Chain A
Amino acid sequence: MSDEKMSVIVQTIAGMLFPMVLIFSFYVILHGHLTPGGGFQGGAIGASAVALLIVAYGSKTIEKKMAEENLSIFESLGGLVFVIVAIAGFILASAFLSNFLVGEPLFGQIPGWGESPLNSGGFLPILNIAVGMKVIGGLSAIVLMLALVSREVKEQ
């Protein structure tokens, strides 16, 4: 009953707000090694954008658009990228999670005090992106499955 779609006003505003919140989430993730925030914080912001869509459009519509399996695959891909990069540090450099990309021309130096370019910090942006993928996929799947299952419980 109460899981039906909300009014057209709420749906329109949620659809307009969703890309903006997602872009802010990507900003927080990509600047994780320079400014406050990082993979987890940006991922939580992106998952709250998906929760906004679930509240506005109802869980069934969102389940058709982004299936829970796809979200789980996205989450597992993030974990896989993190582990592969960490083991590459073990193979190419001295130890597990060793920053083997620092000093390369594309990835830059370790950022110091003050302003730094975006491509700095070695492999830290890659790790932040991996953690962000994991948090977006995991928290979105949790909220989506909670909405779907609670709807089934209510109907019984």
Chain B
Amino acid sequence: MIEINLFEVLIVVLSVFMIASAVIAVWFKDLLASVISLAAMSLVLSLYFYILHAPDVAIAEAGVGAALTTAILIITIRATYRMEGEK
């Protein structure tokens, strides 16, 4: 009889989602899509911190990682080129 712990299932699902969105962020040629993927990874990371009983770090991660870093990166992309390798 295998006991399935809901907490461990949640951790595995969140880890898979985080690794997938990080790999997608590297894999995309469209830098705007990469930034959105990084924001999704940051949001899942803040949820991860919350279920690991660190709500303080979760709030900081959600505020800085998901909101401010995305805004700064999008503003920077607007000043350069959107596609990777474009001149």
Contact = CB atoms under 8 A, between A and B. Distances in A.
A150 B76 contact: yes
Contact of B64 (A44, A55, A153, A154): A44
Contacts of B68: 44, 47-48, 51, 139, 143
A119 B44 CA distance: 35
Query: Chain B contact residues (Cβ within 8 angstroms of A): what range?
Result: 10 to 19
Interface of B: 55-56, 58-60, 63-64, 67-68, 71-72, 74-76, 78-79
A41 B79 CA distance: 28
B67 A41 contact: no
Which secondary structure dominates where chain B touches chain A?
Answer: helix
Interface residues of A, number: 24
A36 B78 CA distance: 35
A122 interface: no
A48 B71 contact: yes
Given A37-B56, A41-B56, A44-B68, A154 B75 contact: no
B48 to A, nearest CB: 15
A146 B76 contact: yes
Interface in A1-59: 2-3, 28, 36-38, 40-41, 44-45, 47-48, 51, 54-55
